[in-house]
Structure 1
C-alpha cells in the first residue's frame, strides 16, 4: 500500500520480502497515526525518498497494526528510523529531523 506521501507501507507479513530481501538499502520509518513528530517527518521522508530513489528505498511501518517487527528490533519510540542493508539493521535514529541532517546521517549507509 502506498501512503498519500508516496512512501510504501510495509507490514509484519511482507517485511522480510520488502525490507530484508531488498536489492538496496531500505530506510524504515516506524510510525503511528497518533505520533505528531511522525507527521512532521512525513514531508522530509518524501523528499529524501525522491532524492535518493536510485540508492535507497524508503518505507513506513505502522507499529500499532504491525507490532511483531517493532518488538523484534526493539523499537520503543516513534518515529524510529532504521536502515537495513543486506537483511541487517545497520543504523538507527530516533526522532524527527530536517532533510539536510537526515541525508547527512544516511550518507555512510547508502
Structure 2
C-alpha cells in the first residue's frame, strides 16, 4: 500500500484533461515511446510530453484523443526532448500502458476533482 497523503497533498496535484494535437515516434528514447503535443485549453495552452505507450497506441491513433495529465510537475529532459506534463495511464497484465481518459467528451483544460 502507498504511503498515506493528506487531502491538501492531493489538491496540490493539478490533473487536467487535454486533447492530443500531434504525436510522433520517439526513436531516441531508451524505451519505445511516443512524443505528444497536447492542448490543455486557453489557460494552459499546448504542452508536450513523451510516454511509453507503444504497446497499445500508434502515433496516428492518439491524435484527437482526450488524455489526463499532471500539469504542475517541473519540465523533465528526456534525451533530446523536454517533457512538460505527465500523461496518466495504467499498466495491463503484460506491462503495456493504457492511457486514462474521460469517458465523455469534456472541454480541454478541465481539472480533475
**TM-score w.r.t. length of structure 1:** 0.26
The structure with the largest alpha-carbon Rg is 2
* Richer in helix (by share): 1
Q: Tell which has more relative contact order, 1 or 2 (C-alpha 8 A, sep 6+).
A: 1
Relative to its length, the structure with more strand (as a share) is 2
